[in-house]
Structure 1
Amino acid sequence: MDFNRIKEKLNILADAAKYDVSCSSSGSNRTNKNNGLGNTGNGICHSYTEDGRCVSLLKILLTNHCIFDCAYCVTRKSNDIQRAAFKIQEVVDLTINFYRRNYIEGLFLSSGIFKSADHTMERLIAVAKKLREEENFNGYIHLKSIPGASDELMYEAGLYADRLSVNIEIPTISGLKLLAPDKNHADFIKPMLKVKNEIIRYKDEKKIIKHTAKYAPAGQSTQMIVGATGESDKDIMYSATHFYKNYNMKRVYYSGYVPISMDSRLPSLGTEVPMLRENRLYQTDWLLRFYGFSVNEILDADNPNLDMDIDPKLMWALRNLNFFPVDINKADKHMLARIPGVGMGSVNKILNGRKFRKLDWDHLKKMGVALNRAKFFIICNSTDWERRDLDAARIRSMIMQNSQSKFKNQYTNQLSLFN
């Protein structure tokens, strides 16, 4: 083996893979068998498991050669970059050797599309198949689904991978036509639908036949590029909701566009999407999946974009002050979850705690409620109430001042550790 050449390939293809953020996962439980290598537990790729472990993946492309010329992609065929490609056995050997050195607990493998979608998908599957069958590798494997790949190949991929994902890339069909005219939106949807249907079928069979093989036990995910075209946050979140509802996505990831070349269809070089916008989209995603919100409650024709200064739950609350104050000792779970500064963990503590006594400010603080925000929207077993007759603008101003003051104090305390 030419170690210098392998190292050179690794540098090129690991760097090219950094633009894909949809590689964290949980939910798979592939246990070790027949004295094989590894276990797949909860949490993958710079995530933390329930027992506090941080686990990571070898994240690479099989190749950065590509037959497409998507304007937003660093591996586009017209881009003048250094090209490389791994052999199937090279990826297998890297994965096993890195695992044995305790560098990784799994593999995230994507690829540029070379020759055809099916040819590329066959090679990705070949890597996973060799790891499972020849190396008895039971660690985590995440394969990218290649748009346009056949149903037969998608079925086979799910037998070896813990998670599959196909990046929808641009949130709207019109945006995709503008930036990737060679690609067809239907080619992205086809593998998603196949994976969804197979997961459902295998779960149904598992109820009848206990030893049914696993099929993509960690489900599937997708990624959208934010800011390459003019979609609003409302457009993006409606697209995300569509994929959660119709394709049973485990996660939708939002990746801020990073300018990589000059193109009249794209934002100018140096115009990067603020990380804060990504953060606000993830916060909204969380509210939709776990807090009972719908997209039209947070984003509508009058408010098509998220507020960069405050989080989306606070944004909603300030526009709907008629729902407040909420009595902590009487409100149902649905309304408790809508209070700014109250997370789902605190909601459950409140529901359990008020079974035994009426809760006051001290109880809420001990339960982890962020009172610097929540105090404007709740009443409890205390005589004072912070909001009084304040309007939305004044509440917003006070909360932002409190947050800035808290951040300044934290920064001062951290700085003092170095003096």
Structure 2
Amino acid sequence: MAALTLRQKLAILSDAAKYDASCASSGSVKRDSRGGRGMGSTDGGMGICHAYAPDGRCISLLKILLTNFCVYDCAYCVNRVSSNTPRARFTADEVVDLTLGFYRRNYIEGLFLSSGIIRNPDYTMEEIVRVARALRETHDFRGYIHLKVIPEASPALVSEAGLYADRVSINIELPRDDSLESLAPEKDAPGIRRAMGAVRLAEDAAREPARKARPPRFAPAGQSTQMIVGADGASDGEILRRSETLYGAYRLRRVYYSAFSPIPEAAARLPLKPPPLVREHRLYQADWLMRIYGFGRAEILDEDANLDLTVDPKLAWALRRREDFPVDVNTADREMLLRVPGLGVRGADRILAARRLKRLELADLKRISRSLETLKPFVVAADWSPGGLTDSVGLRAQLEPFQPDLFA
């Protein structure tokens, strides 16, 4: 068999990486070592600043696997050892050259690097770290680097990865431990959590005030994880409970939800069809409510329940809690404004700023919110009261056509 060209490898290994959703670049910090403009510095020579686009896209990262060869046989993974998928493998030097070459052409702003397991977890993690070390130390690359951590690798390698990466991610894979044991027998749920805990401890150590010398920076953009949705029978309530635990115990920056996608020659115990993509979308909205809007998971839904696919989770909550509405936009505190359907963080803050100058009317709310029709049944303004609209029997049906595309 003829050796693959670099272009062929790139085609295979970039396609193989698309299944990993835990790719984010928000939260990075500037780098200013040795006082000059290093490779990848995009902030006036002081470092980089990456963020999510409004539609959730991860901006300008080279997202690839080091290899899609894998000794594991995870039933839900197209790259499992028993799969007949085309295989390829980069050398560490090839990944370094690709990253630098794409950056110089202004194609990318950073690197997301994951890998199948080759030989053993330590060997794989060593190769991943080798790439990051070469970029940082040899080429003074200051662009964003996100490394996928192999949880079974030695703690020393995990710690080294965090010294070179802006963000690390360790995938929890499935919401239920028994599902992971059944579908990914080589993986160990307690071991994954131990690795997450080790990353959190290293993050904490890097943030502690130094007595004599400042500790080295460690993954300043934190850690993230991914859960596959719909590969097992876990309810949305179970999924969000696991996310709530991960946020609290390991201070994760993000949990990513990836709808299960049926793969060729799938095991009989896997679903034949993917879950509806709107389910993934609703989970992200519910996650947003927990992280940004101050909702507890139990407020959103019961553990054995699934999210309403017809309306967003905040509206579903408000329809169940009509006794809390309408809210007076001229007197309500920020916490309550954030719970009003049709108001996002920016809208709530704009209301708080505007009402210092005047009593807000419905026309003011129209300028502030893009979802006025959703907003109207739940608020009181200087010239507006919903009357019986808040308690209307048909309110849900009236509001369904006005559901926004973004989190409100």
Give the TM-score taking structure 2 as reference length.
0.91
Q: CA deviation at 1:276?
A: 1.0
Q: Is the 8 A contact 2:24 2:58 kept in 1?
A: no
Provide the C-alpha distance between the structure 1 equivalents of 2:155 and 2:11, rounded to a whole number of angstroms.
33
Residue from 84, 88, 100 that aligns with 2:104: 100
User: Quick one: distance in 2 between partners of 1:186 and 1:299?
Assistant: 26
1:67 maps onto 2:71 in alignment:
yes
Determine helix, strand or coil for the equivalent of 2:187. Answer: coil
| Cα shift readout 1:31-79 (whole Å, capped 9, x = no counterpart) | 35444201253325xx349xxx984111111111111111100100001
Amino acid at match of 1:325: P
Offset of residue 273 of structure 1 = 2.1
Cα deviations across residues 90-116 of structure 1 (Å, max 9, x unaligned)? 111111111111111111100001111
1:238 partnered with 2:245:
no
SS at match of 1:8: helix
Q: 1:59 to 1:394 in 2, by over 3 A?
A: same
Residue in structure 1 matched with residue 300 of structure 2 by the alignment: 298
- What amino acid is the match of 2:300? I
Give the C-alpha shift of residue 387 in structure 1: 4.9
Query: Structure 1 length normalisation: TM-score?
Result: 0.89
**1:198-347 pair list within 5 angstroms:** 198-205=202-209, 208=211, 212-261=215-264, 262-268=266-272, 271-300=273-302, 304-347=305-348
Aligned positions of 1:76-95 closer than 5 A:
76-95=80-99
Gaps of 5+ in 1: 407-419
Q: What amino acid maps onto 1:242 in structure 2?
A: T
> Match for residue 374 of structure 1?
375
- Contact kept? 1:145, 1:165, Cα under 8 Å: yes
SS of equivalent to 2:64: strand
State the one-letter code of the partner of 2:127. R
Q: Secondary structure at the match of 1:375?
A: helix
Structure 1 vs Structure 2: percent identity of aligned residues? 47
Shift of 1:391: 3.8
More displaced stretch, 177-186 vs 191-200: 177-186
Change (3 A) 1:367 1:92: same
The aligned counterpart of 2:44 is: none
Shift of 1:393: 4.3
Change (3 A) 1:307 1:54: closer
Correspondence 1:124 to 2:128: yes
User: Once the 2 structures are TM-superposed, how far is the Cα of residue 292 of structure 1 from its aligned partner?
Assistant: 1.1
What 5-or-longer segments of structure 2 have no aligned partner? 42-46
Shift of 1:392: 5.6
Instruction: Check the 8 A contact 2:115/2:148 in 1, yes or no.
Output: yes
Supply the distance in 2 between the matched residues of 1:16 and 1:103 (Cα, whole angstroms).
20
Counterparts in 2 of 1:201 and 1:231: CA distance versus 1, 3 Å = same
Counterpart Cα distance in 2 of 1:348 and 1:400: 26
1:175 paired residue among 172, 176, 179: 179
- Write the letter of the residue equivalent to 2:172: I
Q: Is the 8 A contact 1:375 1:387 kept in 2?
A: no
Alignment of 1:5-24 (within 5 A): 5-24=5-24
